[in-house]
Structure 1
C-alpha cells in the first residue's frame, strides 16, 4: 500500500504525503503460509533487524515478528498528524513493508488491527485512522476492509481512501472517557508526523 516507492506496504490515519499510501509486498509469495495468530505485534526495538530503513524520521514503527526467531516479517510507520489534536487527533501510517513470502491473506489485516489497538490504548482521544489503497489492488482492499476500515471520500484516480473511526470517548463509554482524560493531562510521548499536502 505505499505509493512513494513501488511495492511497499501500509497507510493508516490522518495524513502525510499523497504519494505514500499503499499496502504491498516487494516479493512474490511462496507456498509458506504464516500463522498470524502466533506472530508478535509490537513497536520496534533497537536490536530489531528491519526489512528496510525507516523513511519518515519522526514516525513510529510497528512490527509483526516471528517471536522464536525474532525475525521481522512486516512493518508499518505511523504517527499522530500534527495540529489535529483539537479534533481529537488522527494517526497516519506513512510507510509499510512485508518480507517476501509473507504476502498472504490475514497478515496485513491482523497487523492493522493490532496497530489500531495500540493507538487506542496509547491515545484513546484519537478519533480517526485513514489508509489508501490502489484502486486496482483487490488483495489489500480486502485486507483493509477486514481490519475494519470503510470507504471514505476520494477524488484521486489512482487511490481509494479507507477510514477507521474509533469509538467515541464519552461518559457513556466510561473506560474510554476516563483514559482519554488521563492521556489528555499527560502521558509518554507518541510519534508525530507532518500533515500531507492533500490532508483535510
Structure 2
C-alpha cells in the first residue's frame, strides 16, 4: 500500500524517536554515531522537514539494523515487539514438544527431549523453556481434565500455582494441586503449563 509523503515523514520521525529512546541514546550520541548532523536530527524530530534525503534514511536504518522501507513505512516499535514474542503473532520459533500417552510417559520418564521428539508425535508450544512435553490423556486421571485432552508439562519443575503431574506407586499417573505434599514414593513428573481440550 502506497503511503503519502507526509505519512512517510511522520513514520521516520516516530521510528527515529522510538529507536533513540529504546537504545538509551541521546540525540547528541546518535548524531555522532550515525554522522547525521544535529540540525537535521532536530528538524526531523521537531517535524520541521518536508523532505528527508535517502542517505539520511539509510543511516537511520543501518543504525537500527533494519531496512529503509521499515523506517519509512513501518512501525519499528511494533516490529521489535512482535519479534520478541513467542506466539502466533511473533517471530520467535515455538518449541516443538513430543506427545506421549500415560504408558509412553512412564516408559520414558527420564528420556531426553531430543530422543522423544524423533520417536513420538509432536506439537508446538509457544513459550520459552526447556524439558517440555505433551501428555495425551487416554484414561480418566482427574475430574478437571478430559480424556483426549493434551496437557503441556514442564518436566521436573514444581511451582506453587499450576497443578502437578506425579507418578504414584504401582505406576499410576495422577494430577494433584500445586499445594500437594509429595510423599517419599511419589515421583514428580512436572507442572502443567497448558491444557488443550480434545487436542
Of structures 1 and 2, the larger Rg is shown by 2
TM-score (norm 2): 0.20
Structure of higher RCO (CA pairs closer than 8 Å, 6+ residues apart): 1
TM-score (norm 1): 0.20
